[in-house]
Amino acid sequence: MTPPLTLSPAQSRVITHRGTDLQVIACAGSGKTEAMARRVAALLSEGAPPASIVAFTFTDRAAAELRDRIVRRVTEAEGPAFRDRLGPMYVGTIHAYCFQLLQEHVPRYGNYDILDENRHAGFLSREFRAIGLDKLSARRWQPIRDFARAVDVMGNEGIRAEALGDTPLGKCYRAWRERLDRFHFLTFSLLISAAIEALEDPTVAARVRAPLRHLLVDEYQDINPAQERLIALLAPPTGGGQVQLCVVGDDDQSIYQWRGSDVRNIVEFTRVRSGSHTETLATNRRSRPAIVAAAAEFAASIPGRLDKDMDAARPPSEAEITGWTAETEQDEAEHLAATVERLHAQGVRYRDIAVLFRSVRTSAPPLLQVLDRLGIPYTCGGRTGLFLVPEIALFAETFAWFVDGDWQDARFTEWRPASLDNVVSGLSRIFPLASAPGGTELPGLRKYLEDWKAFQLRGIRPVSLVGDYYALLTRLGAHLADADTPAGAARLGALARFSEVLGDFEHVHRRGHLALPAEGEGKRVFVGGRDRGKPYFQSLYSYLVYWARDAYEEFAGEVHPDLDAVDILTVHQAKGLEWPIVFLPALVKGRFPSGRAGQPQDWLLPPDVFPPGVRARYEGSDAEERRLFYVALTRARDAVYLSCFQKRARRFEPSAYLREVVGGPLLTGDLPLPPPPDAAPAGDAPPLQVSFSDLARVAECGHAWRLGATFGFQAELSPELGYGKAVHHVLRQVAERARAEGAVPDKEALTRLLDAEMYVPFASAAAFTTMRGAAARVVALYVAHYGDDLRHVWAAERPFTLHVAGGVIAGRADIVLGADGHHQGLDVVDYKVASDPRREALYRLQLAVYAASGRAEGLDVRGAYLHELRDGLRHPVDVSPAVTDAAVGEVAQLVGRVRKGDLPPVPTVDRCGACDFRKVCSFAAAR
């Protein structure tokens, strides 16, 4: 366990300040996470209810670290029993908070899904003409990219549709919002906008703010204007102090302006919030003095920054800053790798070393080749495009051949007709395990592909892209790759990433929607998605060629908490992290700072729509590049190596930043090594954050969980997917309405509720009608037999968390029936749409874990029930102390297995027959 730091006077003031809003300017490595954690722990010790505290972090990883630190400090102050009372406290990202807020307080969002960047692009391609993007340009994908960027900027900046007027872009925007609602989608920027709209309703705002007393915001320098508006609604500047706001950040580390972050939020905080108090954490506890001095001097060159003087707390050491150069890019990679080997021989763990690039894709490949050759373990995200993997390019060319399309073997090469000959010969060469000895072509592959194409283009049945892809992989013998070898894991990871490409496309194209009849009146009807025939494959081809090829990166490798490997990542990805040894290679002119920073860009948004200065903020500047370099320098604890190369295809000049920091001549020989870093404290890896559903999958078959959770293989879509979620959503609305109105909805009200809330995204029109009828019977049966319970709902979709050795387990109970004259204590009820005897023990384990978590939180959980919705039967589940204690021990063992990577296969005919990944599993008993 990481020991608590000795507090500085400034940290102590951060922890104890009360009564006004608080701004904390935290220099790099100054112990801000410790100060925030201790502030929260102090609030809890003073009696603040956990539900009164909300803490926003920039990433999920930062949230896990902060929550872990809070738990440790609370445990030290209040004892181990108190940590499980923290469930109602929120620590997480703003986006996750907004989604939770919408699902809890705006019923219509309860069955919405979030579109990430790739699925959003696929959706815009599908709805290209319905939205009106064809009116913006005759080309297809450029307006999609431009429109996606424009609506993100509108969301980030809080620009409303009215600002666009009746322009073509304004019409597209309004159509886009309507189509998103029709398909039950939100984008990440709309999450914030929708939460703001909800909080502008006084009733919703009162409910949300009722328990809230303390709002903490980490990385405040990276907040965009819309997020700042959300924060102001939660903690109004003139709110009379009901909600005290504490923001923590450093203007020198504002590096996400290209995503909309506005450094003015932190620079002007005290002006906007008059009467607020500021504390500065200026002592860097992370880095050695020479690193701190160099970083502080470099930061002083950033224009418009807050005045601050960063100083060092650690004693000096050897080789703190080393600047060096190599003749070529390859020489630089060889020398860097040799230095890593020397460090490791001296006792430095690989995981204590990071290599940070301005762009991994541009600069990392030579180093990765050397590390592979030397067998040095590493993790690397974003190193190259997925379609540069030969087998992935061949799978994509297969779909180009389906529609007689053209294919390009690499960027900037000539286009050629997609070739079945090329696909067959290439796949036969890459997958020799399935080839005939000495043969040049896999027997039967050509006819298999020809028959597949002919059948699918007839459009007789819905296409399962992921399922058909897995069938092809089975035929190729791809499932025989050994996941425990580097080569096998890399292959499986790449194959899984391509299943994600296909899955993203399917999720937006096979999705149906509710629409009014053609005449515009009457009950809405369900319109199924697009799922077959040549037009479907033409859309897929377009998505692969014009979006996916540049958007999807190669598999980054399996990562588990105890992995010992060199970290290779971008400086942006490294934000908030630290290592004893950091290398900053490829510091040449044009790469760092980026040669594109500050260049004017083309925008769909008219110039007068941008608030003053906003357009330039998105286009970047030298100031932002300087902040990014400052962040890179301050990731290092003991030593930072800065290097450049002189030649590639042309001669390169060293980066001006490298010259500013190093000053003197650059070394060319063996590099000096620092002393070995201090021994890592025991238990320094953060606890594993895992859902009960994940642990249940691990219990069933560790290898299946590994294929899905760590490699990323996607499950096949089925028409029934989402039916259970839809029924749960409707029942929650029934329970919420009964609780709010004190009466169970009557038959007519239930029908209206089903019409409004029932949504099964991947059903056909006929299947939706059938499932709508089945759901009506389930709801009617529930209300008839258990309607009285709905008057006593204490909570719906109640979150539970449980701390065990090495991890934190999270889950949500469908309903909790409250303590009153009818229920003596709380009863936890979990719905199951269909019974599954194979998982009966897991269902009971889940309820026992919820009961244990609730009791640890201080709730009087007396009973638990498994409710089978199809037949209306409710079965009691034993949650006696002996049973819940055993359940806690069982899930703790599962957490330990995940942490260690102990994920053995458990192949049985029944289990494998129902597994989503049986076609890509080498252990499957049934394929």
Residue count of the chain, please give it: 927
Q: Tokens in use for 424?
A: 């067959």
Q: How far apart are CA 325 and CA 646, in angstroms?
A: 8
Quick one: pLDDT at residue 521? Answer: 57
Residues 6+ apart with CB under 8 A from 594: 358, 359, 620, 625
The lowest-confidence range among 2-16, 192-206, 312-326, 688-702 is 2-16
Which stretch, 74-83, 190-199, 521-530, 555-564, has highest mean pLDDT?
A: 190-199
Q: How far apart are CA 304 and CA 490, in angstroms?
A: 46
Average pLDDT score over residue span 410-430: 89
pLDDT at residue 222 is higher than 70: yes
Report H helices in 742-764.
747-757
| CA angle centred on 390, ends 387 and 392, rounded to 5° | 50
Quick one: pLDDT at residue 682? Answer: 44
Long-range contacts of 746-754 (CB under 8 A, 24+ apart): 747/780, 750/776, 750/779, 750/780, 750/783, 751/776, 754/730, 754/779
Over residues 699-749, the pLDDT tens digits come to 999 999 999 988 999 999 888 888 888 888 888 888 888 877 778 888 888
The mean pLDDT value of the chain amounts to: 88
Average pLDDT score over residue span 305-309: 90
Among 7, 11, 72, 5, CA closest to 41: 72
- pLDDT band of residue 2 (cuts 50, 70, 90) is very low
Quick one: pLDDT at residue 786? Answer: 86
Q: How far apart are CA 446 and CA 147, in angstroms?
A: 41
Quick one: pLDDT at residue 556? Answer: 67
Q: How far apart are CA 228 and CA 220, in angstroms?
A: 9
The lowest-confidence range among 73-77, 91-95, 374-378, 596-600 is 596-600
Q: How far apart are CA 792 and CA 874, in angstroms?
A: 16
Report H helices in 238-350.
264-267, 269-272, 289-299, 329-345
Q: How far apart are CA 500 and CA 548, in angstroms?
A: 10
Q: How far apart are CA 670 and CA 660, in angstroms?
A: 22
Strands 277-281 and 22-26: parallel
Q: How far apart are CA 795 and CA 736, in angstroms?
A: 9
Quick one: pLDDT at residue 681? Answer: 47
Report H helices in 158-263.
168-182, 188-199, 202-209, 225-234
Q: How far apart are CA 719 and CA 259, in angstroms?
A: 36
- DSSP reduced 3-state for 568: strand
Is the preceding peptide bond at 675 cis, omega within 30 degrees of 0?
Answer: no
Please check whether residue 55 is in contact with residue 40, taking contact to mean a CB–CB distance below 8 angstroms.
yes
Quick one: pLDDT at residue 267? Answer: 92
pLDDT at residue 650 is higher than 80: no
Q: Tokens in use for 601?
A: 């860009």
- pLDDT band of residue 483 (cuts 50, 70, 90) is confident
pLDDT at residue 52 is higher than 90: yes
Laid out side by side, the sheet with 321-328 consists of 321-328, 636-647, 579-584, 353-357, 566-570, 378-380
Over residues 574-583, the pLDDT tens digits come to 888 899 999 9
Average pLDDT score over residue span 524-533: 87
pLDDT at residue 40 is higher than 50: yes
Which stretch, 387-391, 432-436, 467-471, 647-651, has highest mean pLDDT?
A: 467-471
What is the helix (H) or strand (E) element at residue 814, kind and residue range?
strand 807-817
Annotate 331-354 with b (16+ C-beta within 10 A) or e (fewer). Answer: bbbbbbbebbeebbeeebbbbbbb
The lowest-confidence range among 103-107, 452-456, 816-820 is 816-820
Quick one: pLDDT at residue 728? Answer: 86
Among 261, 154, 263, CA closest to 603: 154
Please check whether residue 374 is in contact with residue 341, taking contact to mean a CB–CB distance below 8 angstroms.
yes
Percent of the chain, pLDDT > 70? 94
